[in-house]
Amino acid sequence: MSICSSSSSSSSSSTAKAWIVHSILAGTAIAIAIGARAYLGRARKFRTRVVGVIPARFASSRFEGKPLVHILGKPMIQRTWERSKLATTLDHIDDEKIAECCRGFGAAVIMTSESCRNGTERCNEALGKLEKKYDIVVNIQGDEPLIEPEIIDGVVKALQAAPDAVFSTAVTFLKPEDAFDPNRVKCVVDNRGYAVYFSRGLIPFNKSAKVNPQFPYLLHLGIQSYDSEFLKIYPQLQPTPLQLEEDLEQLKVLENGYKMKVIKVEHETHGVDTPEDVGKIESLMRERNLS
């Protein structure tokens, strides 16, 4: 797994920035008001030290060696790292084929064990191997070479502004054609901006069993940030029924009673899941004049 550090500016629209700011502010007053019940009995209000982690594995059932595939002449993991470095909130961004590649373009690299069951556990193991101490760890998906730096900053600031939350993530609007795709994870949030539930099925689900074109369904984006103290606890939590049924690690957090802050952003997802996706990403980058 590779780790890397970031700082921010991007081609994101001002509308996307407005979304992020609005989503963060919506829950701030409430978070401060209930600060006495903050995580572990204390409000880690500022959480100023932030590290970004990009978990990367060579083995993949659908696309072996995916992090190393070239996108317009650069490995995908490098593309993601370069975009992440544009985020202003990250102090630092930290596999053997992948490790050699990452060291070649200047990224810090930490190897994690095969026993890690998911990206969250890899982030925890990486955190324990870092010399410096950090308050927030951001899990950045290595297969999102066009990740918007403002979204990275948004999830960090959301967690900093919500002392009662241990986890933050981002959602965007779900396209109707993705409504019943189990690989598109859906999310519902409460009116204070905290996650209620995540599912591979369409949620909420109405009695007509059809997509309501007027309803703003939400699609979960892969980026997540964690309170570093909670991250140490996470691997010790036993798998939960809903987590196992949906195969979603976020549900273990919610089922154990922890709070998760969610920001809404306008973002077109451009992940790379199969070899066919590489050509689509390259065409999009050419359209946007991204070298």
Q: Looking at residue 100, what is its pLDDT?
A: 65
Cα(41)–Cα(230) distance, integer angstroms: 13
- Statement: residue 154 has pLDDT above 90: yes
What pLDDT score does 9 carry? 36
State the burial class of residue 59 (Cβ atoms within 10 Å of its Cβ: 0-12, 13-18, 19+): exposed
Q: Which residue has the tokens 């060579």?
A: 58
Structure tokens of 150?
């403002």
Residues above pLDDT 90, as percent of the chain? 40
Distances (CA, A) of 134 to 52, 53, 126: 10, 12, 11
What are the structural domain ranges in the chain? Answer: 44-285
**Quick one: average pLDDT of 111-135?**
70
> Does residue 24 register a pLDDT over 60?
no
44-285 topology per CATH: Spore Coat Polysaccharide Biosynthesis Protein SpsA; Chain A (3.90.550)
pLDDT of res. 251: 97
pLDDT of residue 16 exceeding 70: no
Query: pTM for the whole thing?
Result: 0.75
- Residue 33 pLDDT greater than 60, yes or no: no
CA torsion through residues 224, 230, 233, 239, sign: negative
pLDDT top residue among 231 and 255: 255
Q: pLDDT tens digits for 77-119?
A: 888 888 888 999 988 765 444 566 667 777 666 665 565 666 6
Residue 67 pLDDT greater than 90, yes or no = no
